[in-house]
Amino acid sequence: MLINTYTRPDNNFVSGIGMKIYDDVGTEYMDLVAGIAVNALGHCHPEIVKTIKKQSEKLLHISNLYHTTEQHELAEKLVDLSDHSRVFFCNSGAEAVEAALKIARKYGKQRGHGKSKILYMKNSFHGRTMGALSVTGQPKYQKEFKPLIGGTEQCELNSIEDIYKKISGACAIIVEPIQGEGGLVKAEVEFLKKLREFCDKWNCLLIFDEIQCGVGRSGSFFAYDKFGVIPDVVCMAKGLGGGIPIGAVLVNEKADVFAPGDHGTTFGGNPFACAVGKTVLTELIDKGVMAEVDKKAESLRKKLELLEEEFDIIEEVRGIGLLQGIKFKKDPGDFIKYALEKKVLLVGAGDNVVRIIPPLNISMEELDKVYIKLKEILQGFKGGER
């Protein structure tokens, strides 16, 4: 019945609470995917459930032809947390990237003397819509859909020399502070600082895709704070809605170029999604979840490094905050399938990496359980010789 866009196991999940998820026969699983970094507060967080019930009885959708309190409150909270002045709400990460690319093109035309080229990084992932795909540095996603949108050029991550050679004619550079799907590869601080300098010098926009590494996942609400570099545009989604679809684009005054009619969305920023987004931010910021992420991340990383020392099939532990990964010495596909048999959900990434993505409100006791369970699975997997 469904278009064949995902290869999925036969498991049918019907409910969840916190880090636990249950299938249709009542079997319990440990969820270390978190909806691919979406469920920032785990499954069915009581405050999110309360907000959903309350808002569903109040107002779901009226379109962006009108103001709503929920949209304004969420926008205000994001602006207060950021170094930016305006927000555009949409429904997903790919939509956020699409909006950012349009902002870049208009900026180049209006304020950049007609410049239109957009630079992006090798092994990046920005989404599967045509614009986002055109700045995704992975041929396996692009090859069946060419010709893509023109006026883009790929660069080597962390190679300022490559950027320097290609920046002529650019209106923007888009980069993930840490490549999520690409294998949890971090951009170097000095590289990002140079990008900031170049964008200032050559009058172009610096766009950070924080769709996976943002909303507290890195240990700071915005990942850019971890790197000490402020972009002109920030793309957000995933954890912002805690499970409800929402995306956002933040711009500073430099990048504030949209005028009525330039862009839009029917569903984006509806009061339902924004009410949930505000609840997520309240839990993360006002109620202290964010304050514990760095400590929990350090604990998780030490546990994963213990596994690296014990099991030869692990080559490296990498990541940031509670977006950690185990790099295997060969394709970890069979390991992920074996983990599912042992009732643990895991997701892969590029470069033979398995991502470990718990909810941000995971307890220290639950982190101990994660370590014990992963160790059991690695022992049973026997280095892939099953």
Please indicate if the annotation marks 179 as binding a ligand.
no
- Residue 149 annotated as binding site: no
94 is in an annotated binding site: yes
User: Where are the strands (E) in 194-302, listed by range?
Assistant: 205-209, 233-236, 247-251
Residue 5 marked in a binding site: no
At 185, phi and psi to the nearest 5? -95, 125
Length of the chain counted residue by residue: 386
What is the C-alpha separation between 211 and 125, in angstroms, rounded?
A: 10
125 known ligand binder: yes
CA proximity to 250, closest of 193, 208, 281, 187: 208
209 labeled part of a ligand binding site:
yes
Judged by phi (left if over 0) then psi (alpha if -120 to 50, else beta), residue 301 lies in: alpha
Q: Are 307 and 378 in contact (CB under 8 A)?
A: yes
End-to-end Cα distance, the chain: 34
What is the 8-class DSSP label of residue 188?
Answer: P
Pick the closest to residue 226 from 362, 308, 323 (CA basis). 323
The set of residues, in sequence order, having a beta carbon less than 8 Å from that of 358 and lying 6+ positions away, is 19, 32, 34, 300, 322, 366, 367, 370
Order of strands, edge to edge, in the sheet holding 247-251? 86-90, 247-251, 233-236, 205-209, 170-175, 117-121, 152-155
Instruction: Read off the tokens for 87.
Output: 């927000």
The reply, when asked if residue 212 is annotated as ligand binding, is: yes
Any binding-site annotation on 328? no
Q: Which helix (H) or strand (E) holds 56?
A: helix 46-56
Going through the chain in order, the beta strands assigned E by DSSP cover 13-17, 20-23, 28-31, 86-90, 117-121, 152-155, 170-175, 178-179, 185-186, 205-209, 233-236, 247-251, 314-320, 323-328, 344-345, 347-349, 353-356
Take residue 321 and report the two structure tokens written for it: 């905050």
Question: Annotated binding residue at 282?
Answer: no
Q: Which residues contact 312 (CB under 8 A, 6 or more apart)?
A: 329, 383
CA angle 36, 43, 13 (to 5 degrees): 75
Binding residues for pyridoxal 5'-phosphate: 93-94, 125, 209-212, 266
- The annotation places the binding site at 93-94, 125, 128, 209-212, 265-266
Binding residues for N(2)-acetyl-L-ornithine: 128, 265
